[in-house]
């Protein structure tokens, strides 16, 4: 289910099943003429699934936006379409060469194209070329002055017609000649929480492709110019009906509310997409501030709870952490994920969701519990459910099928400091219906400020797996 962005290279952690990078991608620029090195592609696909991020231009730079859109207008997208085709064919060939590992290459149509810079840079290009704003098929007058503004729905038509629809056209052509197992799945550009909740993502999914340019006539009215084709073969098709996957960034909030919204509205609702990839979670700021492990553990618990409650398998859902290797040692996302993997190995463990397993009589908590398929291990996650100081030195866990009185546990508090793992004591209740897990006091201060991870081991519920109750080296 999990992976990492790996601009700095690819690592071999077993939990890192998926990697994501632009290819090549220097200084956030992916050009029309980029290529894929087959040897590097083989290196990736030998051990990982790979998400290929390809914008075609750097939307933060006006000069890059101007050059890209001018080039597409000049040749009706032929250069961009041809490059996408050769990249998709290289990905298909790479999957076939490395078929023994069963790894997949995915195409991500764009990064954070909802970002505020796009409203200015693309809007400025539209104005300079005397084209209509808003685009007639994304008729939202969100940003008439073309300032930096996120979620500008008025430029969606230009983003789809001049970049994404052309890419989809090329990928579909490449896929048509490939066996089904080696076709490149098409993933939407990323949407953040504001894009999900304020209408941008819905406007993108509902967009109907024109397939041709729509300039202004002599009376200032837009018209379809059939002499200037773009992705003409897709004319009349709805963008959301051309996708295999929806894509989100930084949406894992309290109780997984936004994650559920995405599944309800666009997977179980109004698109042909079959899953949702979170191609960025965590983030640079959290890593720099020493909260990488905190964010990783909060995200793990919340998103796994959603996925397991809906019966979603890893072919349909991934979370890919950004900057997981950055930050002070002992606070990084990779530190937290490696520690969790050592207890419940990602490549050898199936988890069962255990809702309502945890409680506390006086501290408001957001809690999640998962049991390994060996029935001997539980990973518990306790997060603050209220703002304000609170001290936590125990948690109650329902037995829920466990009968062994000899249960051991340890805890790790993830916040903005490097904290050690500490031992906890586990005492069964007199009636055998619950356990009290006691540990050195930890302070909760506010929602999203702490994540307490409790690893609980019982060696007698199923087959004994470790003589000492834990894996060696923990």
Give the tens place of pLDDT for each residue, 425-447.
Answer: 999 999 999 999 999 999 999 99
Helices (H), 46-115: 62-75, 78-97
Q: What is the pLDDT of residue 460?
A: 72
Q: What is the pLDDT of residue 275?
A: 95
Sheet architecture: strand order including 422-428? 351-353, 365-372, 377-384, 451-458, 407-414, 422-428, 434-444, 390-398, 358-359
Could you tell me where in the chain the CATH 3.20.20 domains are found? Answer: 2-343
What is the CB neighbour count within 10 angstroms for residue 314?
14
387, 434 in Cβ contact below 8 A? Answer: no
Q: Whole-angstrom Cα distance, residue 409 to residue 17? A: 28
Could you tell me where in the chain the CATH 2.60.40.1180 domains are found? Answer: 351-458
pLDDT at 399 over 50: yes
Q: Identify the CATH assignment for 2-343 out of 1.25.40, 3.40.50, 3.20.20, 1.20.120.
A: 3.20.20
pLDDT at 207 over 80: yes
Distances 309 to 81, 256, 321, 395 between C-alpha atoms, Å: 40, 11, 22, 23
Query: Which distant-in-sequence residues (6+ apart) come within 8 Å of 272 by Cβ?
Result: 240, 241, 242, 243, 244
Mean pLDDT of 208-224: 98
20, 51 in Cβ contact below 8 A? Answer: yes
Q: What is the pLDDT of residue 30?
A: 45
Q: Whole-angstrom Cα distance, residue 275 to residue 244? A: 7
Q: Name the pTM for this structure.
A: 0.91
Query: Of residues 262 and 36, which shows the higher confidence score?
Result: 262
β-bridge mates for residue 322, sequence order: 282
Q: What is the pLDDT of residue 231?
A: 99
Q: What is the pLDDT of residue 4?
A: 86
Of 13-27, 365-379, 393-407, the range with the lowest mean pLDDT is 13-27
CATH topology of domain 351-458: Immunoglobulin-like (2.60.40)
The token pair that represents 341 in the structure block = 């993997």
pLDDT at 472 over 70: no
The token pair that represents 244 in the structure block = 């295999």
411 burial level (CB within 10 Å; 0-12, 13-18, 19+): buried
Percent above pLDDT 70 for the chain = 93
Q: What is the pLDDT of residues 171-201, one digit of tens each?
A: 999 999 999 999 999 999 999 999 998 899 9
pLDDT at 31 over 70: no
Mean pLDDT of 242-250: 96
351, 371 in Cβ contact below 8 A? Answer: yes
Helix axes 62-75 and 116-128, enclosed angle (nearest 10)? 50
């Amino acid at each position: 289910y999990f992976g990492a962005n790996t601009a700095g290279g690819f690592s071999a952690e077993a939990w890192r099943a998926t990697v994501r990078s632009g290819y090549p991608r220097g200084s956030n620029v992916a050009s029309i003429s980029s290529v894929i090195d087959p040897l590097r592609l083989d290196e990736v696909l030998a051990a990982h699934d790979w998400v290929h991020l390809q914008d075609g231009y750097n939307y933060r730079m006006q000069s890059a936006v101007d050059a890209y859109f001018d080039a597409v207008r000049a040749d009706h997208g032929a250069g961009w379409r041809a490059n996408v085709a050769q990249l998709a064919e290289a990905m298909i060939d790479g999957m076939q060469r490395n078929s023994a590992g069963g790894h997949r290459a995915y195409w991500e149509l764009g990064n954070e194209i909802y970002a505020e810079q796009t409203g200015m840079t693309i809007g400025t290009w539209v104005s300079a070329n005397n084209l209509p704003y808003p685009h007639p098929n994304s008729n939202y007058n969100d940003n008439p002055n073309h300032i930096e503004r996120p979620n500008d729905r008025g430029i969606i038509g230009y983003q789809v017609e001049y970049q994404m629809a052309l890419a989809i056209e090329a990928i579909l052509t490449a896929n048509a000649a490939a066996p089904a197992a080696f076709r490149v799945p098409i993933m939407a550009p990323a949407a953040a929480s504001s894009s999900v909740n304020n209408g941008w993502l819905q406007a993108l999914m509902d967009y109907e492709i024109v397939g041709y340019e729509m300039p202004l006539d002599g009376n200032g009215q837009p018209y379809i110019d059939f002499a200037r084709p773009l992705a003409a073969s897709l004319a009349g098709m709805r963008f959301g009906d051309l996708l295999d996957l929806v894509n989100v960034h930084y949406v894992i909030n309290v109780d997984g509310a936004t994650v559920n919204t995405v599944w309800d509205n666009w997977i179980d609702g109004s698109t042909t997409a079959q899953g949702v990839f979170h191609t960025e979670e965590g983030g640079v700021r959290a890593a720099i501030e020493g909260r990488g492990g905190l964010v990783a553990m909060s995200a793990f618990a919340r998103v796994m709870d959603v996925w397991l409650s809906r019966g979603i398998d890893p072919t349909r859902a991934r979370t890919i952490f950004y900057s997981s290797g950055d930050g002070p040692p002992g606070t990084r996302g990779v530190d937290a994920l490696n520690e969790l993997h050592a207890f419940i190995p990602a490549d050898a463990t199936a988890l069962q969701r255990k809702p309502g397993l945890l409680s506390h009589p006086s501290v408001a908590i957001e809690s999640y519990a998962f049991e390994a398929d060996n029935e001997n291990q539980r990973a518990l996650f306790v997060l603050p459910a209220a703002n304000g100081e609170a001290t936590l030195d125990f948690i109650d866990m329902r037995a829920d099928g466990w009968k062994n009185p000899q249960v051991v546990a340890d805890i790790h508090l993830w916040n903005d400091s490097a904290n050690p793992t500490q031992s906890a004591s586990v005492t069964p209740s007199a009636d055998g219906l619950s356990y009290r897990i006691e540990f050195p006091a930890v302070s909760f201060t506010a929602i999203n400020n702490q994540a307490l991870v409790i690893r609980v081991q019982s060696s007698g519920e199923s087959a004994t797996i470790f003589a000492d109750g834990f894996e060696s080296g923990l």
